[in-house]
A and B are shown apart, each in its own frame.
Chain A
Amino acid sequence: MYTEKVMDHFQHPRNVGEIENPSGVGTVGNAKCGDIMRIYLDIDENQIIRDVKFKTFGCGAAIATSSMATELVKGKNIQEAMQVTNKAVMEALDGLPPVKVHCSLLAEEAIHAALWDYAEKNGIKIEGLEKPKSDIHEGEEEEEEDY
């Protein structure tokens, strides 16, 4: 059900861990739905993401999207990191099964949440960045019942 790239990132996740005294940290998702992602950013004075780490509670796709998202933002400046959308993460993984698309949204949201934390700590504004929702499933439509 998963692509080779997803399986590779699931089996060998990149950038797992924590950063002490991070420039920004963001946690999104909720345990109720089975996914929580936390991303730590270490950003230098030139607003370049020097290091990034993640921890994720979730399925194979959640772990793989976290891993890929950290790879995509590492070494970028914060404006470039804003371009790492869920679509970009999905494409980099050669796609996700439809029921797992929300995992890539969560990865995007986790990056944004960490950037938001960084922006708040430093009193700056990042263009295009909105205050992250704590729960990505908010407002999601209920499954239709059919009997």
Chain B
Amino acid sequence: MKKIIYLDNAATTRTAPEVVDAMLPYFTENYGNPSSIYGFASANKEVIARQRETIADVLGAKANEIYFTAGGTESDNWALTATAEAYGAKGKHIITSRIEHHAVLHTCAYLEKRGYEVTYLDVDENGLVDPRKVEEAIRPDTILISIMAANNEIGTIQPIREIGEIAHTHGVLFHTDAVQAFAQIPINVDECHIDMLSASGHKLNGPKGIGFLYIRKGVKIRSFIHGGAQERKRRAGTENVPGIAGLGKAVELAAATMEERAAKETELRDYAISRIEKEIPYCRLNGDRVKRLPNNINFSFRFIEGESMLIKLDFKGICASSGSACTSGSLDPSHVLLAIGLPHEIAHGSLRMTLGADTTKEDIDYTVDCLKEIVEEIRSMSPLYEDFIKKQ
């Protein structure tokens, strides 16, 4: 098999071998149901409690504030719908941003059809939410502010501490989708006044199908999945024990290596950005240059379309993603790229590369070398480029 250069770590990551090792016993030996009485199941209860603690520690939270879910999407759905229900008597207004993940945006649309009102805040050209605009949007009937910690496409890190403070001052709940940010950048739920936080295992070298929702003690929240008494009666269903064991291990590893990883990735990221900007004309870096996830690179290349770029990169063994319509299954390009003000045709030509712990400088050099050729090749076929050159 030819070498794969995997630059799509914001989509998902390789499950770390240590994580797999941590999970295996809970498939093979300790398969008991944690709700059972006999001693055989106790190892399962024990690992759940321990990993709840591990995760809580990283966030500066208490263990009983961590609720395991099937992943980031469920956590977002739960946080929004259950809060809307539980606080519906106080008001029916929610504030969010235009660049949230669809797990949040589509849940908001669902709530709008059920009588809730949602304010979608604009972002600036770098994808930043202005905390002053958050404050201005607050009304007496506002019950929830949901702003992501960092954007999945363009990597922009939001001022969640300022937003949390504003929410706290006005007595409004604050939820943050931290699927991309958790264990990549430091987040403390108390310092940022976060009431709810969503995260997922598979974005940090953990397994797929597991995540959690942090819910601050005292927040009224209804259960979303009904059934048994698991997760303090708030999230029914037999616990995904191997998943929890793996998630806990992944969080432990990610937290321990966060600083070192961020330094290494930031250096590689900025190296890639500077090479691309120097060597490929008519490109634009999407997202904030500084307030940016260490592993995120997102460029738009004018006159070309993203899918063709991805296929050609794939021929070279490089895995990346694009915000073009063709990759989204609809005719519209990424809502995030449109929200930062890119015209459609430029949004179609976007490329996201997200680094991982294993990415090397050689990988970046090879990728940029290939990218240069590919962009030139596709441009030579583009009627938009032809028109542009003729006008010059």
Q: Which residues of A contact B (CB under 8 A)?
A: 7, 10-11, 13, 16, 18, 27, 31-38, 55-63, 99, 137, 143, 145, 147
Chain B: CB-nearest residue to A142: B331
**9 closest Cβ contacts across the A-B interface?**
A31-B345, A59-B307, A59-B326, A38-B383, A32-B344, A55-B383, A34-B348, A147-B110, A57-B382
The answer for the CA separation of A73 and B310 in the assembled complex, in Å, is 29
Contacting pair A34 B333 (CB below 8 A): yes
Chain B residues near A37 (CB, 8 Å)? 383
Instruction: Check B384 for interface membership: any CB of A closer than 8 A.
Output: yes
Give B15-47 as 1s and 0s: 1 = Cβ < 8 Å from A's Cβ atoms.
Answer: 000000000000000000000000000000000
| Given A57-B303, A58-B305, A36 and B348 contact (CB-CB distance below 8 Å) | no
Residues of B with C-beta under 8 A to A31: 343-345, 348, 384
Q: B196: which A residues are within 8 A, CB to CB? A: none
B106 cross-chain contacts in A, Cβ below 8 A:
147
Q: Is the Cβ of B381 less than 8 Å from the Cβ of A63?
A: yes
Cβ A60 vs Cβ B307 within 8 A? yes
A-side contacts of B308, CB under 8 Å:
10, 58-60, 63
How many B residues touch A, CB cutoff 8 Å?
A: 30
Main secondary structure of the interface of B (DSSP, over half): helix
- Residues of chain B within 8 A (CB-CB) of A32 are 344-345
Q: Could you list 5 A-B pairs, sorted by A, with CB under 8 Å?
A: A34-B344, A57-B304, A62-B305, A63-B381, A137-B331
Please report B residues at the A interface, Cβ cutoff 8 Å: 106, 109-110, 113, 303-308, 311, 315, 324-326, 329-331, 333, 343-345, 348, 380-386
Alpha-carbon distance A13/B331, docked complex (angstroms): 24
Cα–Cα, bound, A16→B382 (Å): 10
Chain A residues closer than 8 Å to B344, beta-carbon distance: 31-34
* Residue of B109, B303, B305, B381 touching A34 (CB-CB under 8 A): B305
Contact of A59 among B110, B324, B343, B380 (CB under 8 A): B324
> Nearest Cβ distance between residue A56 and chain B, in whole angstroms?
6
- The closest CB in chain A to the CB of B322 belongs to A59
A131–B127 CA distance with the chains assembled, in angstroms: 43
B residues within 8 A CB of A59? 305-308, 324, 326
- Give chain B residues whose Cβ lies under 8 Å from the Cβ of A62: 305
Expressed in whole angstroms, the minimum distance between the Cβ of B43 and any Cβ of chain A is 42
Task: Give the residue of A16, A61, A137, A145 whose beta carbon is less than 8 angstroms from that of B380.
Answer: A16
- Is B325 a contact of A34 with CB atoms below 8 Å? yes
Q: Which residue of B lies closest to A145 (CB)?
A: B109
Assembled-state Cα–Cα distance A143/B308 (Å)? 24
A11: B residues at CB distance < 8 A: 315
Interface centre among B315, B324, B382 (most CB of A within 10 A): B382
Q: How far is the CB of A143 from chain B (nearest CB, A)?
A: 7
Known: A16-B380, A33-B325, A61-B326. 14 other contacts (CB 8 A): A31-B348, A31-B384, A34-B325, A38-B386, A56-B381, A57-B382, A57-B384, A59-B308, A59-B324, A59-B326, A60-B326, A62-B305, A63-B308, A147-B106
Let me know if B311 and A10 touch, CB within 8 A. yes
Q: Which residue of A lies closest to B346 (CB)?
A: A31
Q: Is the CB of B330 within 8 A of A18?
A: no
Evaluate contact between A27 and B383: CB separation under 8 angstroms.
yes
Question: Are B382 and A147 closer than 8 Å at their CB atoms?
Answer: no
Chain B nearest CB from A63 CB (Å) reads 6
Closest chain A residue, CB of each to CB of B114? A147
Q: Could you say which residues of chain B place their CB within 8 Å of the CB of A143?
A: 330
Taking the nearest CB of chain A, how far is it from the CB of B232, in angstroms?
29
Closest B residue to A140 by beta carbon equals: B331
Which residues of chain B are near A13, meaning CB under 8 Å? 381
Interface centre among B106, B305, B333, B343 (most CB of A within 10 A): B305
Output the residue of B311, B329, B333, B385 with the most chain A CB within 10 A. B311
State A11–B303 Cα separation when bound (angstroms): 18
Contact status A18-B381, CB under 8 Å: no
Known pairs A31-B345, A33-B325; A55 contacts B382 (CB<8 A): yes
- Interchain CB contact under 8 A, B348 and A55: no
B345–A99 CB distance below 8 A: no
Contact A36 B325 (CB under 8 A): no
Residues of A within 8 A of B343 (CB): 31
| CB-defined contacts of A63 to chain B, threshold 8 Å | 308, 381
- Report how far A55 CA is from B386 CA in the complex, Å: 9
Asked if residues A36 and B315 are in contact (CB atoms below 8 Å), the reply is: no
- On whether the beta carbons of A56 and B383 are closer than 8 Å, the reply is yes
Q: How far is the CA of A40 from the CA of B123 in the complex (A)?
A: 42
B389 to nearest A CB, angstroms? 11
CA of A10 to CA of B374 in the docked complex: distance in angstroms? Answer: 13
Closest to A35 in B: B305
A1 smallest CB distance to B (angstroms): 10
